[in-house]
Structure 1
């Protein structure tokens, strides 16, 4: 058991190092620092490693449905369309932090971690986000094949189309490309609208809960203050009664 625990910790440390290394490598690619060919080779190598890791975990897991839900960002992190998808691998670090209770060990676990879990899973954000990204990625891939565009340009086109920005720098010219664009406009915009609505509803609900909690606290404080006033009034009345009895018992001169 101890060896298994040490092996698991070593595995998680390795995953953490590879994740941070992949994100750093993508940052260097965007900043155009270093040798581009070497950095792309590193990015592709890390992509292969994370893809194999994902497949192995998918095979050995006991509940694949739960695994697919909890590892949705891991799947996005191995999409080979663009190196920027490596940033989705950071979600793995969040789960490792929760797995080892690092926030609790550091004494910083609290309401915000519960709010994060509630926002990601209980509101359905993870499902809508995964479906939205899947639609965009699939549309970009098909657009790249039909329009003979690079994957990066196709992904840019899919994002601007799904978000209704539509700069017009990339447009479909073939019949299949226009069909793909039509499906993306209908499906992508619908799911992105639901995604936006989920975020706004969560923020509004949190604000409402905060206001309600503040009102309840104020009501509690007022009730406590009134109780103290009643107690003080009762004591004053008792003191007054004692004074009255004392005056009556005192003989007049």
Structure 2
């Protein structure tokens, strides 16, 4: 059930246009997921230093946000190993999510510039076509005037 909900949300995120609000929601969700997983993991592995889930999640929040107050730290080898893995994974995960979102915004801006350029080019072609039609029409009028005036002038002088 939860997996289905997550898959639907992920598909909707991939297919719907990205907004700043959605991007922020994804970054916050990724950060919270990392904090919860890291907090649970450190509480299980190093229960001496992290006797309660709240302390583990506080440490995970400090770690994932790279604040690192140092008020709680893993002391045993297993806790430090989990801490090192968590630092690399969580910081990389949030960074990658942020980079993907940023590249989505950049790509959307690029696509909009291309569309604007194509629209401007199409308008330019339309304007040139209209101007060419007007010039052609004027030339035809001049030619008709010359032909009618030239034959009238030839009769008058001759």
Map of 2:156 onto structure 1: 252
Please give the per-residue CA displacement for 1:68-98, whole angstroms capped at 9, x wherever unaligned: 41268xxxxxxxxxxxxxxxxxxxxxx9xxx
Q: What aligned pairs does 1:58-137 form with structure 2 within 5 A after superposition?
A: 58=1, 66-70=4-8, 114-116=16-18, 133-137=32-36
TM-score relative to the length of structure 2: 0.73
| Structure 2 Cα separation of the partners of residues 71 and 206 of structure 1 | 20
Structure 2: runs of 5+ lacking an equivalent: none
CA distance in structure 2 between the partners assigned to 1:161 and 1:231 by the alignment: 69
The answer to whether 1:186 aligns with 2:83 is no
The number of residues matched between the two structures is: 145
- Does the 8 Å CA contact 1:143/1:149 hold for their aligned counterparts? no
Structure 2: how far apart are the matches of 1:180 and 1:247? Answer: 98
**Other structure's SS at 2:16 match:** helix
215-224 or 188-197, which deviates more: 188-197
- Shift in CA distance, 68/149, structure 1 to aligned 2, threshold 3 Å: same
1:221 is aligned to 123
Aligned pair in 2 of structure 1 residues 71, 153: CA closer, same or farther (>3 Å)? farther
Matches of 1:129 and 1:191, distance apart in 2: 12
Local SS of the residue matching 1:115? coil
SS of the aligned residue for 1:248 comes to: helix
Higher relative contact order (CA 8 A, sep 6+): 2
Q: CA deviation at 1:129?
A: 7.9
Is 1:142 paired with 2:45?
no
RMSD over aligned Cα atoms = 3.2
Q: In 2, are the aligned partners of 1:136 and 1:158 still within 8 Å (CA)?
A: yes
Higher Cα radius of gyration: 2
Q: How many Å separate the matches in 2 of 1:185 and 1:168? A: 14
The secondary structure found in structure 1 opposite 2:78 is helix
List runs of 5+ in structure 1 lacking aligned partners.
1-57, 59-63, 73-94, 96-112
1:228, CA displacement in angstroms? 0.8
Normalised by the length of structure 1, the TM-score is 0.48
